[in-house]
Structure 1
Amino acid sequence: MSAHAPDSRQSDSSQSDPLQRERTHLSSSRAALRTMRHEVEALDLKNVTANWVNARVLGAQMEARIKELADLTHTPLFFGRLDYLPTPERTAEDGSRFYIGRRHVHDAVGDPMVVDWRAPVSQPFYRATRIDPQEVELRRRFGYTGGELTAYEDERLTDPVEEARTSRLLQAEIERPRVGPMRDIVATIQPEQDEIVRSGLSGTVCVQGGPGTGKTAVGLHRVAYLLYAHRERLARTGTLVIGPNRSFLHYIEQVLPALGELEVRQATVDDLVARVEVRGEDPADAAVIKGDARMAEVLRRAVRSHVTIPAEPVMVVRGSRRWRIPAYELEEIVRELLGRDMRYGAAREALPQRIAHAVLVRMEESGEVCDDRVQDAVARNPAVKAAVKSVWPPVDPAKLVLRLLSDAEFLAAHAEGVLDEAEQRTVLWPKPVRSVRAAKWSSADAVLIDEAADLVERTHSLGHVVLDEAQDLSPMQYRAVGRRCTTGSATVLGDLAQGTTPWATGSWEEALSHLGKPDAVVEELTAGFRVPREVIAYASRLLPHMSPGLAEVRSVRESPGSLEIRQIPGGPDELTSAVIAACEESLLHEGSIGLIAADTRIPALSEALSAAGLPWLDPGTETTADSRLTLVPASLAKGLEYDYVVLDDPSTVVAGEPDERTGLRRLYVALTRAVSGLTVVHQGELPGQLG
């Protein structure tokens, strides 16, 4: 492997300075991209479509295409090059060299100047090795500084196999300072990551990955790949990225647009189930029971309890004749619909048609000629409508859950054999609530309402869903997500060691079962690229105490001096002062700084930062202009990353959780957010598990 700086001078097939040749190709590619954009902008859409609706749709498509062709000057147009070995079918003259980038760019005659990283011809850039070169002779990586191409690095895959060495440009790209939102990893995707990214649309994939293994980036790049490979299908069915909180979504929201994908929706689970306003919060024990999958059976029973077996016949009057459907026949119809286990609303819509059909049988037996119009008219008959309303009344999901949580007798009737008496008392509200608006709904309540709504009417299914930080979801939340991809597939991302909710996932097999994807393939990423080896080794001391048996992440980055532990004598004021000093020292370095602390410590630290004249940001609001320092409550640290992290008093982080195991997992998350350096500032003893 050879690296070349700007002053390199080597022979090339077309000129003596290969770096200048690559710069020329970059300039030509940017000019070609501008031409592609201008061609779209110059299109005249007048009189192209038959009506204004089609014209508006076509206009929107053109606007989206223009956005896709934007030249982002701070983002390299290409980051690699592949030189394929010549074959009888492929010679140097007709194209054996491909530049790999974030989007496709072609010249005036349609020949590719940059190939999309998702194209099949680009795959060897990520997977080819000297053992398996995949017909590639040379792989070239490019280095950029401020958007300018400044270096390249060659790897000749036809050379003899030797001990693998990490690419210096690859290492530099991974370690490049992180200021602002999360960026894509398209230039640094590793072979094991690429296999997950390019896996097919039809199957669900679950990725277990420790800190720094790139599981979030893999999930986002998988969406981008699937949209490339199955664009028409996913354009019809839709895609969705689900994150743990709004701060996390703000942090990752620029990754897909940077890859040219502008239409992917992002949401939290709370967003998905937002049928009522959430104003309350459950105690942990109540939230655990409400999140238990057994609540689905309680809700199913409660919904079906609204059906009443008919006791009276139905008399339908049409003109001068009357048609009578006896109660026993109505009962047969109702029981048949119940036996089919249809959704409540679908069965309610079918009932009048079934009654009307019974009437039509009698009409035809009497010699009348009937068709579908007659059946529809009978189904709308007042007597039939009244019977349906009495037998199969409409159900409001929110009112149903309201009654379950307010009415002890109603809950007991439908939770018998499912929840014991103590569990029923735990989920019941202290005082009955009479209206949906007056209720102080919790997040867990909203999930129950969503479940009830699906029992009444089927939830719309998307083509693909990415679920990140999945280890923190309850079984009922998994069901809520699963309803959004019943006819599609999912990418599930998480780390069992980072589960910090009382209902955190115990195993992926159990979680995938609740999601409705029991046949999903579980992949494990164990190679870490973000967290330095010294830091991840320190944090991994906690694993045997919180997640026994889980594989430790093996970091490929050795960074001496990346971990520093400072014990501060004195009281809380001295600790705060030492933390602020550590932040000031970190600001001397280039890149982002995250000050992570227990939630209870945030007010004191924010006041101290302001007093010291250090501007700071909230998680998810990071920009390159206002500040490089973010004050992060430990409860929001998951999924975020910073070049340098200052961790305030680990013992306080652990003590801020309801139990020690959850506290250790919260600490594990906080310890593993750093890319370049971690400074731990504490008073007293550190948690014994770190010893």
Structure 2
Amino acid sequence: MRAMRADVEALDIADVTANWVNAAVLQHQIDERVKALADHAHTPLFFGRLDYLHAPGAESAEGGEGEPPAGGGSQEWRCYIGRRHVHDADGDPMVIDWRAPVSQPFYRASKKDPLDVALRRRFGYTGGELTAYEDEDLTDPAEAEKGVASKLLQAEIERPRVGPMRDIVATIQPEQDEIVRAGLGGTVCVQGGPGTGKTAVGLHRVAYLLYAYRERLARTGTLVIGPNRSFLHYIEQVLPALGELEVRQATVGDLVAHRTRAEVRGEDRAAAAALKGDARMGEVLRRAVRSGVTMPTEPCVVVRGSRRWRVPAYEIEELVRELLARDIRYEAARAALPQRIAHAVLVRMEAAGEAPDDRVQDTVARNAAVKAAVKAVWPPVDPAKLVLRLLSEPDFLAERAEGLLTAEEQKLLLWEKPARSVKSAKWSAADVVLIDEVADLVERTPSLGHVVLDEAQDLSPMQYRAVGRRCSTGSVTVLGDLAQGTTPWATGSWGEALAHMGKPDGRIEELTAGFRVPREVIAYASRLLPEIAPGLAEVTSVRESAGSLEIRRVEAGELDGAVLAACREALGREGSVGLIAADARVAGLAGALSAAGVPFLAPGEEASAVVRLTLVPVSLAKGLEYDYVVLDEPAAVVAGEPDGRTGLRRLYVALTRAVSGLWVVHGADLPTQLAA
């Protein structure tokens, strides 16, 4: 890898470009290549080996067929599988990228279907140092009967979680690999319970698509959308470890704020936020955008030299109605109207014996009389001003919401204290999504090639629409768990969510094998499923960890002390520790930890060997994972939500953040589903 990087750095481009612009572009590409070849000291370059019975295709091995194994038969071929492609001085591959077709059998081959693989070897590492290996003979019928699980695979899955999320490239399972390698053309929705690896699958899918469709996605772009910035910080190192440095990450709030330039300074009540996120608001806004269009009452008279050309009002009205019927974006129609009026003038010129061309039509379209006529019937729209008016003027809202929203719902939407201007408006997060919708109705939102949307179950229909228009001509990978929906507007089904995104034909996949949460813990949390997500399949964990769950009942006055004791017990073991508590309890626990001299971090801060405890408000726990979790007062978690079902879903999230062990410490009674 160092030699490959040195080769790139040594390139001399002084005499290979025609001008300084080409030289600058080429130098930038070289710099990016050098950056991509950076070595990660504690990330092993290869993790597996395949011994094929026959030589795989040359094109599959990135320009080489692999090397014959030392001492092996002439019909055997060996490929080392890793995170990156590495070649020697002659250009022959030493390590094959895990995304290459020739690497696929490492994940898919089985004793029942060996895919022409004689032997699969897995390598084990400790801190970047090779410490173990394990061979699996896929041609031995006796081995096929045993069905022994890989010990190295189990050890990698159970390795302590310290620091940001890491890749799972060495442990991808066949059902996960099928989703990762799905083509770019289709939309995939992954329903996965806690610990099934859906987030990792989505990130590895981005890496695969960038490998298989690099040129196309370099033009159109990729984006990973997460629920909050703490979550994005947690996952931000996964793609760079796989050699992908240019993938943008954002929240839905980041996207709409960037487009609208509106600052979120207010907050809605839950009922108002849910209504603003309702799909019916899309039609209300469409009506509001078009409400400014009026029919002309005066003709348009264009003066050119000594001639006057008159287009009557009824003819302009026909043009306006035709554009409205086409239902194209507001600004596109507004730009087309002067051209239509100018064309009507040219028809009259031709009838009078003149021979105008396209330049004349463009000149007429820019004529002051035509501009005035267009402005009168099709005025410009400012998205923020339109939403401000909709939320401030009862009569304007009533006219646009007729037949869509009840009088009570309209009253719920209206601001108690209307803002005087856009700058003074205290926009809520839901308001900014409405402005974004209007902005798209006015001018088309640019589309990306592929978007990964994680924790998607918590989005409102209007937020789904905001994401969908950013991949309107591309595809999307949707990741989530219906049982973890903790917003009042959480989606009820993935089919409904995909329809809001404009991707109704998306394929829905379900992951039910758990690799993160111990079996004892996930079984305990799954007691809530009949209440929070009836009909959803329970996750079956492959991990057995005896004693991984402990429930401690204490007196109410002793709760803080018992929580501190559980934290100290967890810190006595190897790995990260998360103390998860209801948001209202966080400040008090922070004071107790400080008073006891126990250092702690906030979500998103980097853990270290010295400070391994993170104090996590339950509202930010989704998507995070810790080796050990201390859960403070489940009853307070449930009570902190606007309704019981949402509270139980929030509790389900908190219960399933543990990788190795969970302490549930409570002074109040547990929810009835967990009390037995």
TM-score, normalised relative to structure 1 = 0.94
Question: Which residue type is aligned with residue 19 of structure 2?
Answer: N
Q: Aligned partners of 1:228 and 1:423: how far apart in 2? A: 49
Question: Which residue type is aligned with residue 584 of structure 2?
Answer: T
1:533 aligns with 2:514: no
Question: Which residue type is aligned with residue 222 of structure 1?
Answer: R
Q: Aligned partners of 1:248 and 1:54: how far apart in 2? A: 40
My pick for the range that moved more, 441-450 or 424-433, is 424-433
Q: Aligned partners of 2:399 and 2:199: how far apart in 1? A: 44
Q: Report the CA distance shift for 1:88/1:284 in structure 2 as closer, same or farther (over 3 A).
A: closer
Within the candidate set 85, 89, 107, 1:126 is matched to 107
**Which residue pairs with 1:235 in the alignment?**
218
1:157 aligns with 2:138: yes
Give yes or no for contact 2:157–2:171 (8 Å, CA) kept in 1.
Answer: yes
**Which residue pairs with 2:61 in the alignment?**
none
Q: Aligned partners of 1:592 and 1:94: how far apart in 2? A: 48
Within the candidate set 535, 540, 563, 1:554 is matched to 540
1:38 aligns with 2:6: yes
**Which residue pairs with 2:25 in the alignment?**
57
**Which residue pairs with 2:506 in the alignment?**
520
**Which residue pairs with 1:71 in the alignment?**
39
Superposed CA deviations along residues 332-373 of structure 1, whole A, max 9, x for unmatched, are 111111111110000000011111111111111112121111
Alpha-carbon offset, residue 487 of structure 1: 0.2
Question: Which residue type is aligned with residue 129 of structure 2?
Answer: E
Question: Which residue type is aligned with residue 333 of structure 1?
Answer: L
**Which residue pairs with 2:77 in the alignment?**
96
Q: Aligned partners of 1:308 and 1:447: how far apart in 2? A: 27
Q: Aligned partners of 1:53 and 1:446: how far apart in 2? A: 40
**Which residue pairs with 2:663 in the alignment?**
679
Question: Which residue type is aligned with residue 381 of structure 2?
Answer: V
**Which residue pairs with 2:581 in the alignment?**
597
Q: Report the CA distance shift for 1:477/1:87 in structure 2 as closer, same or farther (over 3 A).
A: closer
Q: Aligned partners of 1:132 and 1:261: how far apart in 2? A: 32
Alpha-carbon offset, residue 570 of structure 1: 4.3
Secondary structure of 1:317's partner? strand
Secondary structure of 1:602's partner? helix
Question: Which residue type is aligned with residue 178 of structure 1?
Answer: R
Give yes or no for contact 1:105–1:113 (8 Å, CA) kept in 2.
Answer: yes
Alpha-carbon offset, residue 87 of structure 1: 6.0
Alignment of 1:7-22 (within 5 A): none
Within the candidate set 282, 300, 311, 2:286 is matched to 300
Q: Report the CA distance shift for 1:578/1:221 in structure 2 as closer, same or farther (over 3 A).
A: same
Alpha-carbon offset, residue 58 of structure 1: 2.0
Q: Report the CA distance shift for 1:311/1:47 in structure 2 as closer, same or farther (over 3 A).
A: farther
**Which residue pairs with 2:184 in the alignment?**
201
Alignment of 1:93-492 (within 5 A): 96-160=77-141, 161-274=144-257, 275=260, 276-492=262-478
Q: Aligned partners of 2:113 and 2:130: how far apart in 1? A: 29
Give yes or no for contact 1:103–1:117 (8 Å, CA) kept in 2.
Answer: yes
TM-score, normalised relative to structure 2 = 0.96
Question: Which residue type is aligned with residue 530 of structure 2?
Answer: P
Give yes or no for contact 2:633–2:668 (8 Å, CA) kept in 1.
Answer: no
Alpha-carbon offset, residue 226 of structure 1: 0.3
Superposed CA deviations along residues 77-117 of structure 1, whole A, max 9, x for unmatched, are 10000000136998656971011100000011111100000
Give yes or no for contact 2:53–2:75 (8 Å, CA) kept in 1.
Answer: no
Q: Aligned partners of 1:388 and 1:569: how far apart in 2? A: 74
**Which residue pairs with 2:497 in the alignment?**
511
Give yes or no for contact 1:535–1:671 (8 Å, CA) kept in 2.
Answer: yes
Secondary structure of 1:312's partner? coil
Alpha-carbon offset, residue 166 of structure 1: 2.0
Q: Aligned partners of 1:459 and 1:199: how far apart in 2? A: 26
Alpha-carbon offset, residue 51 of structure 1: 3.4
Q: Report the CA distance shift for 1:236/1:166 in structure 2 as closer, same or farther (over 3 A).
A: same
Q: Aligned partners of 2:380 and 2:491: how far apart in 1? A: 36
Question: Which residue type is aligned with residue 542 of structure 1?
Answer: L
Alpha-carbon offset, residue 55 of structure 1: 2.7
Secondary structure of 2:508's partner? strand
Question: Which residue type is aligned with residue 54 of structure 1?
Answer: N
My pick for the range that moved more, 69-78 or 86-95, is 86-95
**Which residue pairs with 1:15 in the alignment?**
none
Give yes or no for contact 2:51–2:120 (8 Å, CA) kept in 1.
Answer: yes
Alpha-carbon offset, residue 588 of structure 1: 1.1
RMSD (Å) for aligned C-alpha atoms: 1.3
Secondary structure of 1:178's partner? coil
**Which residue pairs with 2:596 in the alignment?**
612
Within the candidate set 631, 635, 642, 2:626 is matched to 642
Alpha-carbon offset, residue 71 of structure 1: 1.5
Give yes or no for contact 2:119–2:135 (8 Å, CA) kept in 1.
Answer: yes
Q: Percent identity?
A: 78
Alpha-carbon offset, residue 617 of structure 1: 1.0
Question: Which residue type is aligned with residue 13 of structure 2?
Answer: L
Q: Aligned partners of 2:18 and 2:593: how far apart in 1? A: 62
Q: Aligned partners of 2:560 and 2:302: how far apart in 1? A: 81
Superposed CA deviations along residues 431-455 of structure 1, whole A, max 9, x for unmatched, are 2222001111000000000000000
Alpha-carbon offset, residue 546 of structure 1: 1.2
Secondary structure of 1:578's partner? helix
Q: Aligned partners of 1:650 and 1:394: how far apart in 2? A: 53
Give yes or no for contact 1:622–1:630 (8 Å, CA) kept in 2.
Answer: no
Give yes or no for contact 1:622–1:628 (8 Å, CA) kept in 2.
Answer: no
Structure 1 unaligned blocks of 5 or more:
1-32
Structure 2 unaligned blocks of 5 or more:
58-64
Q: Aligned partners of 1:617 and 1:672: how far apart in 2? A: 20
Alpha-carbon offset, residue 491 of structure 1: 0.2
Alpha-carbon offset, residue 165 of structure 1: 2.5
Alpha-carbon offset, residue 499 of structure 1: 0.2
Give yes or no for contact 1:314–1:324 (8 Å, CA) kept in 2.
Answer: yes
Q: Aligned partners of 2:268 and 2:16: how far apart in 1? A: 57
Secondary structure of 2:96's partner? strand
Alpha-carbon offset, residue 57 of structure 1: 2.4
**Which residue pairs with 2:60 in the alignment?**
none
Q: How many residue pairs get matched? A: 657
